Amino acid sequence: MWGSCVLLSSLSRIYAHQIFRSTRNTRIERLWVEVGTQFARRWRGFFTRLGRLHSLDRKNPGHLWLLHHLFLATINEDCRDFQEEWNLHPISGRTTNDQSPADLRLLGQTTAGVYAVDPLEGVDPVAINRYYGVEGPPRRRGRHETGAGQGSDDEDSDAETDVEPDPEEELENQIEADQAQNIRHAPVKVARHHSPFEEAADEATFLELLVIVISQPDVVPEDYGVQPEEWSGDGYPETETIRTGTNGKELLVVLPRTEWFPRAIQWAQGLDLLNRVLYELENN
């Protein structure tokens, strides 16, 4: 248990927010492709459209805050739906026999048992195999010790004269040094998003009004690109172009109007309400 706790603590601090070179992660790369094609690219295309046609300012923390309130729950639902479908899809191969991840998990739990609490859950198995398995803290030899012939008296003497280094710090430094060559670049910065309201009461009032406004799809504000007269001659678009990868490859994403235009209206309604409420607060 000591070793697992130290490993988990060390890995969590070192791996957090770091991007590593792709080496033996073909499966996870394939999974990310599926995430993109199944739902993530459409959301990215939608947000690109909001910026292009519907006044979204991606550098405005208040706009990102509004996006969270409008669409984060729906995005999480898409994630859960994908997870459920993925866990039921058959995996080809000699060892899997077209069993699904859910099947393999059930068989593993049936044959090997289940941890009541697994302290290493979520840690890369490669890292576990490399750094886990030492019984207790590692011991350093004193000067002139070869490791052979030293008895318990010598060990006691060493313990009295040498200060043992912190095992958690040693393990953390070892992992960090080993993984340094795989770090590709600095951590990716998360876009700033926070409430534009200084008072909690004003924010609560706005959120109550927001629920009422977006429940009325026929109330469409002007000057946000959702009125028919604000569109080009081809009507409201059903595709959006996004850029992917380090080389900026262009991908055409289909956004069916029946699904995505109502969300554009919700964004316009929310942004119009936000602008009006903030204006009233600033001038009263």
- For the chain (284 residues), the mean pLDDT of every run of 10, in chain order, is 42 46 63 89 96 95 96 95 88 82 84 77 71 54 55 48 66 75 69 90 97 96 95 90 86 96 98 97 90
Contacts of residue 159, Cβ cutoff 8 Å, sequence gap at least 6: none
**pLDDT for res 145:** 58
**pLDDT for res 185:** 64
**pLDDT for res 232:** 84
221 and 54 Cβ atoms separated by less than 8 Å: no
The phi and psi torsions of 90 (rounded to 5 degrees) equal -70, 145
Q: CA angle 141-146-150, nearest 5°?
A: 75
Task: Convert the chain into a string of H (helix), E (strand) and C (coil).
Answer: CHHHHHHHHHHHHHHCCCEECCCCCHHHHHHHHHHHHHHHHHHHHHHHHHHHHCCCCCCCHHHHHHHHHHHHHHHHHHHHHHHHHHCCCCECCCCCCCECHHHHHHHHHHHHCCCCCCCCCCCCHHHHHHHCCCCCCCCCCCCCCCCCCCCHHHHHHHHHHCCCCCHHHHHHHHHHHHHHHHEEECCCCCCCCCCCCCCHHHHHHHHHHHHHHHCCCCCCCCCCCCCHHHCCCCCCCCEEEEEECCCCEEEEEECCHHHHHHHHHHHHHHHHHHHHHHHHHHCC
Q: How far is CA 262 from the centre of its chain?
A: 27
**pLDDT for res 19:** 47
Radius of gyration of the chain (CA): 27
**pLDDT for res 223:** 96
132 and 4 Cβ atoms separated by less than 8 Å: yes
- Please tell me the distance from the alpha carbon of residue 204 to that of residue 63, in angstroms, as a whole number: 17
User: Which pTM value belongs to this model?
Assistant: 0.66
